Amino acid sequence: MSIQSSFAGVALPLPVAVVPLRRSVSLIRAKVEPSEKTVEIMRKFSEQYARRSETYFCVDKGVTSVVIKGLADHKETLGAPLCPCRHYDDKAAEAAQGFWNCPCVPMRERKECHCMLFLTPDNDFAGREQSITLDEIKVSTSNL
């Protein structure tokens, strides 16, 4: 289909712009992000609890950030910060029961955190920090 135009009496066919076929995106991220307010709440909780339990964050703050966001996500959807590193048959029931609500019973009793959020000083992955900023969380989870 061409548009005919004339210039000095000579008909010139004008090409119609062809929109390039859009490639479908091969990777679709369906993850919903928790709100910043809840992330901030869980961030403060994590810092406070690390100090209180004398544990430290992971050397890789990306791990810490992901877990904090996971806790925030569960807090928003279930009302309680259920451990993000476990699989549950019924999340709502587990949140109501409380065993796996952060800080979970294994953490409270034996300082065992398999999420690697709270690490005892003797752990190979323990860093030396007990604090993390909201910016650090945002930056290290921005590529997810």
Partner 1 sequence: MAAVVLESLSVPRARPGSVVSSTPRAMAAAVPASLGYPPAALISEFKGLRVAGRSLRVSLAARRTSGRVSHRGAVVCEAQNTAVEVPDVTKDTWQSLILDSDKPVMVEFWAPWCGPCRMILPVIAKLSKTYEGKLNCFKLNTDQSPEIATQYGIRSIPTIIIFKNGEKKDAVIGAVPESTLITSIEKFV
94: amino acid identity, one letter: E
- Assess whether 58 carries a catalytic annotation: no
- Token representation of residue 109: 């009793």
Among 114, 131, 138, 139, binds partner 1 (CB under 8 A): 114
- Smallest separation (angstroms) from partner 1 to the CB of 77: 11
Among 58, 80, 102, 132, binds partner 1 (CB under 8 A): 58
Distance CA 2, CA 14 (A): 6
Is 103 a binder of partner 1 (CB under 8 A)? no
Indicate the DSSP class of residue 24. P
- 103 preceded by a cis bond (ω within 30 of 0): yes
Look-up: residue for tokens 């066919």? 13
39 sits near partner 1 (criterion: CB under 8 A): no
Question: Is 36 among the residues that bind partner 1 (CB under 8 A)?
Answer: no
Catalytic residue numbers, as ranges:
85
